């Protein structure tokens, strides 16, 4: 019933639970005039000695226990249930008894006013119901969006101003009638006459056989653009092939096709882009016969199929010329006397999906009525495509449309699916569409329909909510956007019977902040309902107001073309629909198509995707996620959706495997214990070298012990801090070891920082004492200060042995954070022991001679200090300031025969640029960390240092130096190196805002767990609670994970990629932009050596992107050329407003780019003082065409079309006008390749010259 399986036994059992009911029988209820069951009816037998309960008692009893659609519409009573001769229930007898004695349940309330009568009658007529009560829910009794058009048109024909949006907002007759009475809900649809939408000048140019002409709507203009832009694809060219078992009469078929084209003007419409003042669609009074036939009877089945497929392929290649007509072709292949293949192809310019269904139904209904001797004469509709264009023109003038969409989409997040390559690409027209089916078992299909009925919502809303849930999972953010297809037909008496292109794609936005599946369904329905009154504003116009870029790349499309069911009556005559195939393409890279099978009514789901952008593996996983989401919704719609991961078991296992570092267990509790063991094992080995000399392990251990005893006397002990204000030196290393041996945690302070900042850190950390080099001893006065001498004391006091636990503090390092306020990260011995000893597991061999480049206040120094000193290697300390002198560092590396070091990528780049690879021949291990590492750096290392391995480490201070690491071959299609996989003892999770794991490939926030997670922020429990959260995936309860604030995702090989800071994303014209994506694309340019992209305030409340570039040696980077390079590769909103070429990028003392020292850059259109006016005649004409299209007074020859606000539709207008003026046939693509006035004019001159040569030749 209504496409849903119903078990009568469930209702019968419930009725028998009533104290007065002994037996019950339930059947489908088909009122007079209905062509199918629209509800259930019940026949009851009262218990002995009891009176049969009235419907008014039984209906509420059922409603309290059953969904509304299972509550019987009518009740009847009998003394006994009718039985057959063998004692089984006689359902025909039940039906007869119900028909004779039925009483409708009391909740039915008849219409009371004329308006209610009209509305109830319109709904009843469309849904095939004998009667409709004023409290019946329209969707619960079978309503949907297409039927809504029919209901609205019928009501309007009776004088009730009803719109589709009204019916969706007030779905009962009672509420709808009240609203119609109180307000003028539906504005009068405009009535138009032929040629009323064109100018008198264009009318005078019209050929005599054209019976009507009107402008294109924006969707049609966009289709023409994409047809030209993607010339080799079948975009918007649809081909359908249907195999039927039915009598074939060629004359009848030819007649019905002719009549079909005659009835519907759009089937005999062509498009003229050059003759008139604007592109027009012309309706012709005469047309060629569009039917072709091929007799394949007598041929083998394989040959027949081969000929049909060959024809389809030829149709794809043939396409349509839009200035010809009709833009539809039919082909019949006769297979045998009773079977034929019926194929038709058309351009979507003239036919949308519902129109296609209507067309096929009309065609075959008319044809079959003729061959079976029951001829009908379909009437032409009065509604036309011209009326819909008039509605769109009106919508384009309505201010409230723009205001609504501006508010609806404010601060929206760009909806993007994971890519195989590196980030979004500029659309250059190429696409390869692949289709996959998502299996939907019949029981799941029925469950979804039952859910929709029980919640009194359209089935579409349930499916759309499921689609949003899947998109949310593969987007990684709560703010979820998609496009949906909406109906824009005129709401007139026969608006649903017109053929044309009446659809529009609307953005649908849902904030998925959490809740149940029921909540999500209602939230989705409400969001769609909000937009319905504003649905006529074209998507193309909406895109233009949103920066000419789509806010989503996914499309949801639900179809229930129930008009097909008009053909079901011919089945009893032997007509059979054997098979069908559909061919076609869309411009969306991802389409989710939901439809109800015309024969079974079961839900079918198909995904269409662009294989040039998305991998088959990803799409298979997306398809499987749809199935899991739908199953979850049906299983328990009251279940919260946000905690569900909705991953397959293999996916869960794979994600868990990729996020799990090798488990570790160490036999030391503290890091200074590990050093002490090493010193005892190799006392005479060199531990440390510097310009001051060399220290053995024994000497370093004695010095550290002396400092420890001195500090213990000053009050140092477990979980207390001792400050260290010193440059890198042997004394500083001894001090760190001494502080740890005293039981305290070391607090490194940077001598290069202002006294004010040093004072703030000391005040926050409250060290018991401060060790300072003599030059800095007077800079901090708030705590006791001990001067750190440059040599070991002559007499060594023995420090006390302090009993310590792994969870005691080892050090506190202050970082600035995104707010600029210093925060002290408290790191325990457990953390630093795992961080250090994990290197002995991951890296091959010990770091024999390690060059420490990191300042002590950076946690990367922890690796340089303890890795060599806990493994018997030698640590080399360069003089302070040497890290800023690449030449000096190279000398040190060569002189000391350094084997290992760690630095930021920019510093390593500077070393390699000196082109002295012989200085680094001894280096076997290079580690980069601290900033994104370009892939080019690995290529250079492999070329110049073939014996060296490059490693890329990632890790925030809060997770103790390093969390993940990568090494390998240069990754394809990536500008930056991955950050790899978790180190031993560490776990990584990529989680959405609900802290659920996202599918592989999805970008979301990176969380880190395991032995490296620090204690928290010193003295700041609130900030600690915000960033250090309970770990829901921990193997043991009570563990925590760190919220990094970094955006990350797994690539196709399972490696983690760092995608930028969550708080460094910027908004450009409403789009969220990750600056690293732009930098990565620029880095790939052969002339670019280094670059950085920043966002700066424009002074108007908006932000501009500025790129700073350093050219590669021997090349000259050109700013405008680099902008064009980006236009060809990324969406327009990611193209910087200016590219500034510098000799070098300013660096901080740690080798990172100093953003504060980047110069100011002036941004301005060339229409100002620097404008170069057109000089040649062609440039002047081109500039005039551009001015008209872009509504500008002046345009210079170096101005770029798309920088001036141009987009696809205006590009088509400009090229069309240029073709008309210069007599050319240029493709719209050329404007993307020659985007300036000068370049476009030169192209035109070249094309004209070539045309003259061809003509003369």
Cα separation, 465 vs 456, in Å, equals: 15
Predicted pLDDT at 173: 85
Predicted pLDDT at 1253: 61
Average pLDDT over residues 510-518: 94
- Residue 310: pLDDT band (50, 70, 90) is very high
Cα separation, 1193 vs 853, in Å, equals: 58
Output the CA torsion sign for 770, 776, 779, 785: positive
- 813-844 burial, b at 16+ Cβ within 10 Å, e below that, comes to bbbebeeeeebbbbbbbbbbbbbbbbbeeebe
Predicted pLDDT at 1166: 39
The answer to whether 75 and 41 are in contact (CB under 8 A) is: yes
Q: What pTM was estimated for this model as a whole?
A: 0.77
Report pLDDT digits (tens) over 539-585: 888 877 766 667 788 999 988 765 566 667 787 778 877 655 665 55
Report the CATH architecture of 1065-1157: 2-Layer Sandwich (3.30)
Domain ranges of the chain: 8-182, 200-381, 1065-1157, 1177-1256
136: three-class secondary structure by DSSP: coil
Cα separation, 681 vs 117, in Å, equals: 99
Report the CATH architecture of 200-381: 2-Layer Sandwich (3.30)
The region that residue 1123 occupies, defined by phi over 0 for left and psi between -120 and 50 for alpha, beta otherwise, is alpha
In terms of pLDDT, which residue wins out, 810 or 1209? 810
Average pLDDT over residues 496-505: 88
Report pLDDT digits (tens) over 1072-1101: 677 877 888 888 888 998 889 988 876 655
The answer to whether 826 and 814 are in contact (CB under 8 A) is: no
Instruction: Determine the straight-line distance between the first and last CA of the chain, rounded to whole angstroms.
Output: 73
Report pLDDT digits (tens) over 220-256: 888 887 777 665 445 677 888 888 889 999 999 999 9
453: three-class secondary structure by DSSP: helix
If we measure between CA atoms, which residue out of 1070, 1050, 1051, 1048 comes closest to residue 1059?
Answer: 1048
The answer to whether 140 and 63 are in contact (CB under 8 A) is: no
52: three-class secondary structure by DSSP: coil
Report pLDDT digits (tens) over 166-189: 887 777 788 788 777 655 334 445
Cα separation, 1212 vs 218, in Å, equals: 12
Report pLDDT digits (tens) over 989-1004: 999 999 999 999 999 9
- Residue 622: pLDDT band (50, 70, 90) is very high
Phi, psi of 454 (to 5 degrees): -70, -30
- The alpha-helical segments, DSSP class H, found in 828-982 are 829-842, 860-869, 886-896, 905-913, 935-944
Cα separation, 201 vs 1087, in Å, equals: 54
Residue range 1177-1256, CATH number: 1.10.1200.10
In terms of pLDDT, which residue wins out, 967 or 221? 967
Report pLDDT digits (tens) over 293-308: 999 999 999 999 999 9
Could you write out the three-class secondary structure of 166-182?
Answer: HHHHCCCHHHHHHHHHH
Cα separation, 456 vs 466, in Å, equals: 17
- Residue 395: pLDDT band (50, 70, 90) is very high
Cα separation, 732 vs 730, in Å, equals: 5
- Residue percentage of the chain with pLDDT more than 90: 49
Do strands 603-610 and 433-438 pair parallel, antiparallel, or not at all (unpaired)? antiparallel
Mean model confidence pLDDT for the chain: 86
- Residue 818: pLDDT band (50, 70, 90) is very low
Report pLDDT digits (tens) over 1127-1149: 777 777 788 888 999 998 888 76
CB atoms under 10 Å from CB of 656, counted, come to 14
Cα separation, 15 vs 577, in Å, equals: 41
Report pLDDT digits (tens) over 69-119: 677 877 889 999 999 888 889 988 998 888 776 554 445 676 777 678 778
CB atoms under 10 Å from CB of 211, counted, come to 15
Residue 926 has pLDDT above 80, yes or no: yes
Most confidently predicted of 53-67, 162-176, 292-306, 1103-1117: 292-306
8-182 shares its CATH topology with 1065-1157:
yes
DSSP 743-769: T-EEEEE-TTS-HHHHHHHHHHH--SE
56: three-class secondary structure by DSSP: helix
Average pLDDT over residues 151-180: 80
Instruction: For residue 43, list its beta bridge partners.
Output: 25, 76
Cα separation, 850 vs 443, in Å, equals: 66
CB atoms under 10 Å from CB of 513, counted, come to 12
Cα separation, 440 vs 436, in Å, equals: 13
* CB within 8 Å of 30: residues ≥ 6 apart: 36, 37, 38
State whether CATH 3.30.1330.20 applies to domain 8-182.
no
Residue 1167 has pLDDT above 50, yes or no: no
Predicted pLDDT at 653: 94
Report pLDDT digits (tens) over 763-793: 999 999 999 999 999 999 899 999 998 888 8
Predicted pLDDT at 761: 92
């Amino acid at each position: 019933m209504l496409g849903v399986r119903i078990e009568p036994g469930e209702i019968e059992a419930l009725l028998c639970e009533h104290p007065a009911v002994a037996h019950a029988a339930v059947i489908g209820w088909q009122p007079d005039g209905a062509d199918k069951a629209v509800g259930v009816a019940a026949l009851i037998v009262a218990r002995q000695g009891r009176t049969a309960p009235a419907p008014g008692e039984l209906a509420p009893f059922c409603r309290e226990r059953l969904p509304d659609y299972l509550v019987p519409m009518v009740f009847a009573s009998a003394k006994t249930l009718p039985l057959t001769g063998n004692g089984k229930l006689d359902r025909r007898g039940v039906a007869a008894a119900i028909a004779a004695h039925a009483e409708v349940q009391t909740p039915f309330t008849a219409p009371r006013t004329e308006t209610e009568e009209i509305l109830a009658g319109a709904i009843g007529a469309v849904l095939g119901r004998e009667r409709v009560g004023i409290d019946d829910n329209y969707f619960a009794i079978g309503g949907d969006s297409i039927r809504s058009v029919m209901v609205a048109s019928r009501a309007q024909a009776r004088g009730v101003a009803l719109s589709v949006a009204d019916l969706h907002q007030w779905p009962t007759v009672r509420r709808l009638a009240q609203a119609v009475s109180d307000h003028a809900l539906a504005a009068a649809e405009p009535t138009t006459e032929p040629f009323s939408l064109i100018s008198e000048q264009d009318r005078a140019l019209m050929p005599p056989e054209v019976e009507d002409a009107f402008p294109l709507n924006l969707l049609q203009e966009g289709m023409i653009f994409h047809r030209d832009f993607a010339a080799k694809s079948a975009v918007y060219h649809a081909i359908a092939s249907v195999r039927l078992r039915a009598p074939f009469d060629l004359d009848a078929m030819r007649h019905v096709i002719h009549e079909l084209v005659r009835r519907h003007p759009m089937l005999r419409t062509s498009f003229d882009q050059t003759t008139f003042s604007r592109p027009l669609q012309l309706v012709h009074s005469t047309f060629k016969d569009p039917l072709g036939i091929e007799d394949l009877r007598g041929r083998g089945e394989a040959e027949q199929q081969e000929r049909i497929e060959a024809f389809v392929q030829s149709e794809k290649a043939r396409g349509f010329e839009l200035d010809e007509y009709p833009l539809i072709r039919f082909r019949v292949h006769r297979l045998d006397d009773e079977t034929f293949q019926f194929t038709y192809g058309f351009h979507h310019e003239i036919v949308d999906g519902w129109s296609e269904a209507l067309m096929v139904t009309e065609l075959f209904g008319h044809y079959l009525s003729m061959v079976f001797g029951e001829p009908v004469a379909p009437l032409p509709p009065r509604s036309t495509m011209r009326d819909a264009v008039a509605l769109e023109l009106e919508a384009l003038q309505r201010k409230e449309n723009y205001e609504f969409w501006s508010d609806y989409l404010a601060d929206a997040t760009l909806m993007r699916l994971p890519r195989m390559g590196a980030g979004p690409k500029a659309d250059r027209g190429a696409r390869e569409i692949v289709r996959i089916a998502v299996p939907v078992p019949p029981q799941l299909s029925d469950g979804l329909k039952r859910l929709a009925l029980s919640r009194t919502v359209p089935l579409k809303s349930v499916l759309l909510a499921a689609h949003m849930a899947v998109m949310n999972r593969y987007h990684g953010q709560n703010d979820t956007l998609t496009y949906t297809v909406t109906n824009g037909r005129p709401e007139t008496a026969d608006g649903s019977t017109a053929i044309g292109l009446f659809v529009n794609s609307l953005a649908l936005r849902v904030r998925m902040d959490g809740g149940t599946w029921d909540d999500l369904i209602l939230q989705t329905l409400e969001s769609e309902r909000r937009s319905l009154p504003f649905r006529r504003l074209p998507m193309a116009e909406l895109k233009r107001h949103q920066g000419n870029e789509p806010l989503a790349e996914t499309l949801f499309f639900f179809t229930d073309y129930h008009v097909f069911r008009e053909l079901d009556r011919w089945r009893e005559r032997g007509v059979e629909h054997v098979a069908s195939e559909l061919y076609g393409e869309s411009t969306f890279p991802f389409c989710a198509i939901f439809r109800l099978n015309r024969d079974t009514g079961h839900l079918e789901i198909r995904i269409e995707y662009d294989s040039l952008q998305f991998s088959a593996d990803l799409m298979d996983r997306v398809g499987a996620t749809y199935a899991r989401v739908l199953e979850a919704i049906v299983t328990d719609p009251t279940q919260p959706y946000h905690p569900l991961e909705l991953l397959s078991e293999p996916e869960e296992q794979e994600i868990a495997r990729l996020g799990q570092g090798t488990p570790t267990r160490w036999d030391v509790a503290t890091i200074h214990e590990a050093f002490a063991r090493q010193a005892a094992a190799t006392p005479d080995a060199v531990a440390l070298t510097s310009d001051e000399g060399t220290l053995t392990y024994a000497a370093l251990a004695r010095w550290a012990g002396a400092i420890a005893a001195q500090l213990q006397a000053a009050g140092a002990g477990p979980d207390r801090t001792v400050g260290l204000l010193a440059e890198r030196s042997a004394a500083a290393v001894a001090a760190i070891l001494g502080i740890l041996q005293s039981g305290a945690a070391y607090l490194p302070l940077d001598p290069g920082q202002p006294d004010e900042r040093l004072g703030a850190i000391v005040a926050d950390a409250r060290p018991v004492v401060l060790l300072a080099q003599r030059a800095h001893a007077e800079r901090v006065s708030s705590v006791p200060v001990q001067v750190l001498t440059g040599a070991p004391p002559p007499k060594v006091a023995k420090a006390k042995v302090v009993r310590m636990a792994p969870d005691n503090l080892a050090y506190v390092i202050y970082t600035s954070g995104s707010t600029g306020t210093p925060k002290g990260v408290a790191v325990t011995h457990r953390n630093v022991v795992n961080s250090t000893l994990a290197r002995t597991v991951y890296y091959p061999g010990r770091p024999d001679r390690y060059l420490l480049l990191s300042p002590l206040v950076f946690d990367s120094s922890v690796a340089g200090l303890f890795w060599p000193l806990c493994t018997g290697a030698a640590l080399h300390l360069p003089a302070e300031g040497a890290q800023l002198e690449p030449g000096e560092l190279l000398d040190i590396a060569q002189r000391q025969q350094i084997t290992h070091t760690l630095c930021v990528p920019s510093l390593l780049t500077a070393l390699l640029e000196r082109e002295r690879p012989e200085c680094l021949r001894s280096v076997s291990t290079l580690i980069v960390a601290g900033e994104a590492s370009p892939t080019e750096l690995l290529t250079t290392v492999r070329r110049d240092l073939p014996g060296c391995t490059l490693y890329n480490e990632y890790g925030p201070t809060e997770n103790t130096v390093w969390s993940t690491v990568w090494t390998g071959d240069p990754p394809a299609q990536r500008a930056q190196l991955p950050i790899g996989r978790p180190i031993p003892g560490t776990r990584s999770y990529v989680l959405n805002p609900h802290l659920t794991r996202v599918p592989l490939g999805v970008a979301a926030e990176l969380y880190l767990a395991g032995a490296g997670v620090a204690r928290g922020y010193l003295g700041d429990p609130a900030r600690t609670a915000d960033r250090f959260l309970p770990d829901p995936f921990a193997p043991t309860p009570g563990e925590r994970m760190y919220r990094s604030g970094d955006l990350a995702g797994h690539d196709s090989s399972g490696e983690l990629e760092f995608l930028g800071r969550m708080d460094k994303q910027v908004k450009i014209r409403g789009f969220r932009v990750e600056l690293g994506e732009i930098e990565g694309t620029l880095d790939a340019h052969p002339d670019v050596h280094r670059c950085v992209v920043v966002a700066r305030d424009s002074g108007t409340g908006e932000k501009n992107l500025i790129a700073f570039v350093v050219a590669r040696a021997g090349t000259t980077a050109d700013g405008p050329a680099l902008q064009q390079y980006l236009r060809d590769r990324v969406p327009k909103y990611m193209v910087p407003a200016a590219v500034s070429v510098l000799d070098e990028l300013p660096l901080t003392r740690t080798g990172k780019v100093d953003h504060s020292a980047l110069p100011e850059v002036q941004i301005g259109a060339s229409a100002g003082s620097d404008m170069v006016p057109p000089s040649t005649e062609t440039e002047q004409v081109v500039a005039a065409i551009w001015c008209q299209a872009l509504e500008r007074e002046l345009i210079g020859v170096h101005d770029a079309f798309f920088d001036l606000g141009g987009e696809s539709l205006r590009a088509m207008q400009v090229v069309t006008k240029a073709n008309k003026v210069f007599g050319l046939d240029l493709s719209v693509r050329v404007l993307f390749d020659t985007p300036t006035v000068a370049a476009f004019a030169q192209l035109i001159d070249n094309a004209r010259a070539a045309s003259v040569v061809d003509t003369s030749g």
